[in-house]
Structure 1
Amino acid sequence: MSINRVAKAHWYGRGTDGYGQLDTNSAVLKSTPYSYTTRFASGVGTNPEELIAAAHAGCLSMKLAFNLQVAGYIATRIDTRCEIVMEEGLVRESVLVVEAQIPGMQEDKFQELVADAQANCPVSKLLNAAIHCEAFLIPSAAV
């Protein structure tokens, strides 16, 4: 089974004073602003690292829920915080903190299932994946 999801980024202007918008086919993001300010300072809008953090936290939580289900447990709640650490222009680390309430769960089994979720959630695997990129230069309109 193949699952395909699409997001689009639109950027206008230079890197330091330009701006962009993000859109997803689900419309959860619709003309969502991002810019130099929202990435490197604080401003209204999002940034790639914040979106990666949200994706990683959500993915790990869902993988843990599946692991628990297979092991015969149901979480009352799973709260996952993800901090993406960027240094010198590179994403260096994804720091995840999981807090969960799971009736009847033993600590050692919980740690085992979290470790599996960390290693095997699709976003964890993506962060170590090969990247493929195609680029097309569109001619400017004649002036």
Structure 2
Amino acid sequence: MKIRYALLVLITVIIAACSKKNDIAPSDPATQVAGTYEMSTLRYDSAGVSIYNLALPITGAAAVSGAITVRRDSATVVYTTYTIKQTGFSDFNDTFGQLKLKGTTSPYDIYYGANKIGSTDGKTFTIDYSYTDQGITYREVYAGQKK
């Protein structure tokens, strides 16, 4: 009977030792955020008029999908690119470049220079920014879920 009791205690200790509560969190924001995100939103507005607002992926003959790739450059800096794929067209690749992550815990704010342009929690990644060109204000939104 003592052997069964000792075996039961040993199994309980092993299971408790494997608990995720004791897992160590990533050492820095960029490590947590780095990865590939499947694009879920692609939006572009001009002067308050929606040019397109797509929930991705779109399937069928005119399929559209996209991915946001986030690479760790330092503890708080990531380099970000994106790719949009559409059936019948060449892939469109572009870059957001180096972005700074600010905040002590998730979700982190994403900055380009002194401007906040999005947020991320390591599971979702959203770039949402506006700019003015020749007196017209434009807004672009790119959002994705980590694969």
Normalized per residue, the structure richer in helix is 1
TM-score, length-scaled by structure 1: 0.30
* Structure ranking higher on relative contact order (CA contacts 8 Å, 6+ apart): 2
Normalized per residue, the structure richer in strand is 2
TM-score, length-scaled by structure 2: 0.29
